[in-house]
Amino acid sequence: MLNEITMQSFLLILGTGLAAGFINTLAGGGSFIAMTVLIFLGLPSAVANGTNRVAIMAQNLVAIGNFKRKGFFNYKLGLMLAIPATIGSIIGSKFAISLPEDIFNNILAVVMLVVLVLTLWEPQKRFEITSGDELTPVRKLIAIIVFFFVGIYGGLIQGGVGFFIIVSLSLITGTSLVKVNSIKVMIIGMYTVSSLIVFLMNGKVNWVLGIALAIGNAIGAWLGSNFAVAKGDKWIKVILTTAILFMSARLLGVFNF
């Protein structure tokens, strides 16, 4: 357990947040790095999970503002899906807090590997759907059920949830990818608030490290959005793949240094 926060640990998390924000902007999956570094630093898994939510909430609130200014928001659809996702996230968060440390770490490691495959596959670039946002009653019901389970996953793990939201929205709603991303940040932003409250009520948030992570994340996201080198995306994916393979192996106990 991390009993006191040193300047070194604060700067490490600040740098980790920067890397996570940068990677999230260019490839996705950076949140896994943030959470596992918090765990390796000595935080219990539940505290690392809750602390990571501070940065996630800040990141998505900023993104919501950007999409709102650009006029891409579909409040009706976003709210319809955010409500079941929020309910699911409360269930997932409570489950995450109750899980034994070793079981959570094993689940996290496996999920990291699955999401790594999705990151490399780039599902967000494989859907070219141009139909409108109006849904039939059947599709609405399917979407509500799907996003309830998306919320459970988001409350439990959070990392990589964007991939599942993109695929689900594209397949079920037929919404354009620009609107998909605006709805995605609205859903994540809303359910992260409720999820963070669950972790806070159970004393599972380290605010100092959470703020450091959020600041680093914001800087990293800004740098990533301005990173115009064509080969940068490929290099980021190489780094992300290496980091996730290393961290997954460490969480699974393949090695202990």
pLDDT in tens, 87-135: 999 999 999 999 998 999 899 999 888 888 876 776 555 555 545 556 7
Query: What whole-number distance in Å separates Cα of residue 103 and Cα of residue 160?
Result: 19
Domain ranges of the chain: 9-251
CA angle 112, 173, 91 (to 5 degrees): 50
Predicted confidence at residue 103, as pLDDT, reads: 92
* Over residues 35-45, mean pLDDT: 92
Side chain identity at 33, as an amino acid letter? I
Extended strands (E) in 37-164 = none
For every residue of 200-256, DSSP letters joined together read: HHTT---HHHHHHHHHHHHHHHHHHHT---TTHHHHHHHHHHHHHHHHHHHHTTS--
Tokens of 201: 């009520």
Query: What whole-number distance in Å separates Cα of residue 88 and Cα of residue 83?
Result: 9
Do 176 and 132 form a contact (C-beta atoms < 8 A)?
no
Q: Could you give the 3-state DSSP secondary structure of residue 32? A: helix
Predicted confidence at residue 90, as pLDDT, reads: 97
Q: Could you give the 3-state DSSP secondary structure of residue 64? A: helix
Query: What whole-number distance in Å separates Cα of residue 87 and Cα of residue 193?
Result: 11
User: Tell me: the pLDDT tens digits for 169-200?
Assistant: 888 877 766 778 788 888 998 999 999 999 99
- Looking from the CA of 223 toward its CB, the CA atoms found within 13 Å total 17
Report the range of poorest mean pLDDT among 7-21, 40-54, 131-145, 192-206.
Answer: 131-145
Task: Say what the pTM is.
Answer: 0.83
> Is it the case that residue 165 has pLDDT exceeding 60?
yes
